[in-house]
Chain A
Amino acid sequence: MLKDFRQSILVSIWFVFLTFPLMVVRVNTTEQLVEWRWMNLVWVAIGSFILSYLWRYMMARQQAREKVADSGIEKQSKVQLLLEDMSFRYKAMAVLLVFALIFPLVFDTYQSTIMISALIYVVLGLGLNITVGLAGLLDLGYVAFFAVGAYAYALLNYHFGLGFWTVLPVGGILGCLFGVILGFPILRLRGDYLAIVTLGFGMIVKIVLENWDDFSFGPSGIANIDRPGLFGIDMNINGSTTYIYYIMVAMVIFTIFVTMRLRNSRIGRAWIALREDEIACVAMGIDMARTKLSAYALGAFWAGMVGVLFAAKTTFINPASFTFMESAIILSIVVLGGMGSILGVILGAFILILLPEYLRAFSEYRMLAFGAAMVLMMIFRPQGIISNIRQKYEYKGLKEETDNG
């Protein structure tokens, strides 16, 4: 304790020294004066002392926890235990569902719009979770599949007047197809190389969309895309937003359902095995090529589908919506939330998308906070907000207990 205290004081003195010319001395060139702002020095000292002390305290706690983990006994957090309690989970799900359903009735259209974009990222996060979280294949160009879906709807709607519901599955399937196209050349790559190629793929798609004017109308994008129809009923903007909101809720539920089923299936186990150890996985009789391709294709499927909805919601798309930044945010959602954990990814999406919306006042510091949050997360909770809970099986009777996290 005393050592930490002394160290923190040293850190704070060092910071005072470093920031002295910037924070304390100010030369007023018009009046030929030098101002000495001694109060700033005090603030820097106090601030850096507190931060340093807090840092040391957290690191000590982290180390203590690692020691416990090394001794083989892993303590589960209270949240984790609560999540494994089935009756609690059903109640929580019911409450959340009711809340999601009455949301547009209680709040105004602005709130619904924000919620829609958050839900879009939930689906994107869950989709990428299949590729990155379960199969362990890094994908930095995920937004390309999102773009494929969005442009599929925009172009099909523009040229052929196809409706939202027709194109929705088409978008998903096109996403799948592009997933396989990306998957083939990178079957043998892993780690850094995989990151580079997927990053390149994302860039290529965006550049093609920007420059192939005849096909995608270039940077000016496509406007006046139809909103989703409901048996030909004319809706005003509010009604339409509410409608899209409900479609989005349904889609999120669908995604959760499918990813949950997949994760605890034969295919899902193969993905996880592939993530854990590729050589052992192949030696146990799992077809690597097929498993990898299916992970890419299924991950991309959701991006393609939600891309269609994105185009229908904004009614205007251009390549600027599909930058690398988007891929990075989706990846952050997965990492922050907890790789492989469905609940974690959902929480991650809400935190990363909703917080910046409601903290508009601090928007200038957004990237700063984002970066700091990531660094802190990697140090103190590298497994994400919610770590993956494994399924427990009933192995004596003939009934299976489905316990998903």
Chain B
Amino acid sequence: MAEKHKLLEVKGLTMDFGGLRAVDSVSLEVHEGEIAALIGPNGAGKTTFFNCITGIYTPTKGDILLHPKGLESRRLNGLKPNKVTEMGLARTFQNIRLFHDMTVLENVMIGRHCRTTSGILHSILRGKAVREEEQQIVETSYQLLEKVGLAEFTNEFSKNLPYGAQRRLEIARALATEPFLLLLDEPAAGMNPQETADLDHLICKISEEEQIAILLIEHDMKLVMNISNPIYVMEYGKKIAEGAPQQIKDNPKVIEAYLGEETDA
């Protein structure tokens, strides 16, 4: 098999909050077509790691390199979140962050913002180009809703959606920004087994049909082991293991991190 194209390369990423080292020189790579997973106990620094990549925090040390296919590589350190998104790296949030007083469709339409151009003056005049662009936005957004199975809720307020649907809406909104790499922060948190299975299916579908690589943080081991390869494990801000699902399952360090150290009685 030919060497797969490397999309995201994180080298020795370190993030300090005052005296607290939340992420300690973590390296990670995501290749084309992969569903990579980042797991670890609560407070291991996974979300901080995500926030560093997506520009919400500026990392203390280390390099985050993005290699879009057919384009120049870029270093993401210190870029603003909207620039990172523009470069093709979209994310969802652990605690759902939807725009509650907007309709489901409008939520997705926001995702189209960085791929469209009409400015203030054009919006006021609403010429032919602007109207066509608007219609394009609406239709693309609606197609995305169909893809994640939310078409029936199109004109609902997003705050009125059931929990699982809100999670899927976040994914649709992220997809609207046309990413080549999607970061999902605990997409299955708080879902029942049926919803988790649906999500499992959706993530695979996105990965296969859209050719989007995925990096996800997740606590649901069944989901992680089912769909992701490779898996990276973090504990106390450090990376303690990486590899295929089976390797991770058998790794004593990982078992220790999750179940605690065996004491010699």
Contact = CB atoms under 8 A, between A and B. Distances in A.
Interface of A: 72, 74, 258, 261-262, 265-270, 272-273, 276-277, 279-288, 294, 298, 388, 390-396, 398, 400
Given A390-B103, A393-B105, A284 B124 contact: no
Given A284-B177, A287-B82, 7 more contacts: A262-B124, A282-B82, A283-B56, A284-B173, A288-B82, A392-B103, A400-B134
Contacts of B102: 269, 272-273, 276, 390
Contact of A267 (B98, B123, B135): B123
A151 to B, nearest CB: 26
A277 B100 CA distance: 9
B93 interface: yes
B207 interface: no
Given A283-B54, A395-B138, A266 B105 contact: no
Nearest to A288: B82
Contacts of B113: 266, 269-270, 273, 284-286
A390 B106 contact: yes
A392 B105 CA distance: 9
18 contacts: A261-B123, A262-B124, A269-B113, A270-B110, A272-B102, A276-B99, A276-B102, A277-B99, A279-B97, A284-B113, A285-B86, A285-B111, A286-B114, A390-B102, A391-B106, A392-B155, A394-B138, A400-B131
Q: Give 10 closest A-B pairs by Cβ, nearest first.
A: A285-B114, A265-B123, A285-B85, A395-B142, A280-B97, A276-B99, A282-B81, A393-B138, A273-B110, A285-B82
Contact of A283 (B81, B103, B120, B133): B81
Interface centre among A262, A284, A294 (most CB of B within 10 A): A284
A266 B118 CA distance: 7
Contacts of A395: 105, 138-139, 141-142, 154
Interface in B86-102: 86, 90-91, 93, 97-102
Contacts of A258: 124
A283 B111 CA distance: 9
B109 interface: yes
A286 B83 CA distance: 9
Given A285-B177, A394-B138, A268 B123 contact: yes
B74 interface: no
Interface in B186-230: none
Contacts, number: 132
B116 interface: yes
B93 A261 contact: no
Contacts of A267: 118-120, 123
Nearest to B123: A265
Nearest to A285: B114
A266 B116 contact: yes
B59 to A, nearest CB: 17
Contact of B98 (A262, A268, A277): A277
A362 B2 CA distance: 86
Interface of B: 54, 56, 80-82, 85-86, 90-91, 93, 97-103, 105-106, 109-111, 113-116, 118-120, 123-124, 126, 130-131, 133-135, 137-139, 141-142, 154-155, 157, 160, 173-174, 176-177
A285 B118 CA distance: 15
Contacts of B101: 272, 276, 388, 390
Contacts of A268: 123
Contacts of A400: 131, 134-135, 138
Interface centre among B105, B109, B113, B139 (most CB of A within 10 A): B113
Contacts of A285: 82, 85-86, 90, 111, 113-115, 177
Contacts of B133: 266
B111 A284 contact: yes
A124 B65 CA distance: 48
B85 A280 contact: no
Contacts of A272: 99, 101-102, 106
A261 B124 contact: yes
Given A282-B81, A395-B138, A395-B154, A265 B99 contact: no
Contacts of B177: 284-285
Contacts of B142: 393, 395-396
A227 to B, nearest CB: 29
A280 B155 contact: no
Contacts of B119: 267
Contact of B126 (A261, A269, A287): A261
A53 B118 CA distance: 55
A277 B131 CA distance: 27
Nearest to B139: A395
Contacts of B99: 272-273, 276-277, 280-281
B124 A281 contact: no
Interface centre among A270, A287, A394 (most CB of B within 10 A): A287
B56 A279 contact: yes
Nearest to B54: A283
Contacts of A283: 54, 56, 81-82, 85, 90-91, 93, 97
Nearest to A395: B142
B90 to A, nearest CB: 8
B161 to A, nearest CB: 9
B1 to A, nearest CB: 34
A258 B110 CA distance: 21
